Structure 1
Amino acid sequence: MGLPAGLLPKEVKSYNFSDSGLLEVFLDGPCLTKFDTMAFYESEVRANLTYGSLTGVEGLSQEELFLWLPVKDIIVDDPRSGLILIDIGVAHKQLSLSLFEDPPDCSTKSVLKESAATGKALAAER
């Protein structure tokens, strides 16, 4: 569908894709991984999937300047550009598609460490 394989972690358990374009992805549990910054996946990630884009994303946040911001949209306008656009509401980030070539490992241990360090659960911050 024009998106790189590495947008979702290796820990995907299952998914549903409806005729309306709704993609629901189920993970074993919430987890953390890193692209350019840390990314937090909830145990369920939803988005509307069309060619080259995931819009209305729910269940994915990215750390920016010590804040966890929800990812709203992920778009590849032109695959030849080598760039992917990530909309985190307050900003649009352009990243190299090469960061997303392979599905990343996503650690639940990091979620626990991060939660202990901040004194609260990441999932509660959403």
Structure 2
Amino acid sequence: MSLVTEDLRAKADELYHGDAICQEKSQFLLTEMGLPNGLLPLKDMEECGYVKDAGFVWLKQKKSSTHKFEKIGKLVSYGPEITATIEKGKIKKLTGVKTKELLVWVTLSDIYVDDPPTGKITFKTPAGLFRTFPVSAFEIEGHAASKDVKDKEEVKEVKGVVEV
């Protein structure tokens, strides 16, 4: 059952279809919110949307996928639909994401970076259990968060000049 209804799609401030644009927009949103840009390494994305007023975001991929974050040795499973409420430095009410702890898949519900920044990111379960890791383990190599935002701003300025 999908949490993303047609009514919600109609309210979306941003709605994109296709893997390339969804990859770009999801990484940009993560960076804009002060989160690591490699946090949601989804494959074959079909749709992504964002309702700014509510902070509600959704990402849809063709099928479930798993990803191993090599720097920390953690395996994470991403369902076909991931939804969350996002705000500066935090992801709340996360659905569709699980991590493997020992032999058990554990659902994640919240992700947040420390404020003020300490270089740590914390993952919480609905039961209140949590784990903390270095933020750098979830960054895409060669893309520092501040550099990525600066690059996006320059692209926007260039697009504005070309369109005029």
- Give the shorter-chain TM-score range: 0.7 to 0.9
Q: Distance in 2 between the 1:79 and 1:5 partners?
A: 19
- Structure 2 partner of 1:32: 66
- Structure 2 partner of 1:100: 138
Shift of 1:87: 0.4
The amino acid that maps onto 1:50 is: E
Whether the aligned pair in 2 keeps the contact of 1:2 and 1:79 (CA below 8 Å) is no
Unpaired stretches in structure 2, ≥5 consecutive residues: 1-32, 142-164
Q: Distance in 1 between the 2:123 and 2:54 partners?
A: 23
- Structure 2 partner of 1:9: 41
Higher relative contact order (CA 8 A, sep 6+): 1
Q: Distance in 2 between the 1:70 and 1:49 partners?
A: 17
- Structure 2 partner of 1:59: 96
Q: Distance in 1 between the 2:121 and 2:38 partners?
A: 12
Secondary structure of 2:76's aligned partner: strand
Cα 1:58/1:80, change in 2 over 3 Å: same
Whether the aligned pair in 2 keeps the contact of 1:48 and 1:54 (CA below 8 Å) is yes
Shift of 1:14: 2.9
Deviation per residue, 1:14-46 (Å, 9 max, x gap): 311112111101122100011231100001100
The sequence identity of aligned pairs, in percent, is 30
Larger radius of gyration: 2
Secondary structure of 2:38's aligned partner: helix
Shift of 1:90: 5.1
The question of 1:22 aligning with 2:59 is answered no
The amino acid that maps onto 2:95 is: E
User: What TM-score results when the alignment is normalised by the length of structure 1?
Assistant: 0.75
Q: Following TM superposition, where does structure 1 have runs of at least 4 consecutive aligned residues deviating by more than 6 angstroms? A: none
The structure in which a higher percent of residues are helix is: 2
The CA RMSD over aligned residues, in Å, is 1.7
Deviation per residue, 1:72-115 (Å, 9 max, x gap): 10001236311000002352100010111018xxxxxxxxxxxx
Q: Distance in 1 between the 2:139 and 2:39 partners?
A: 8
Shift of 1:13: 3.6
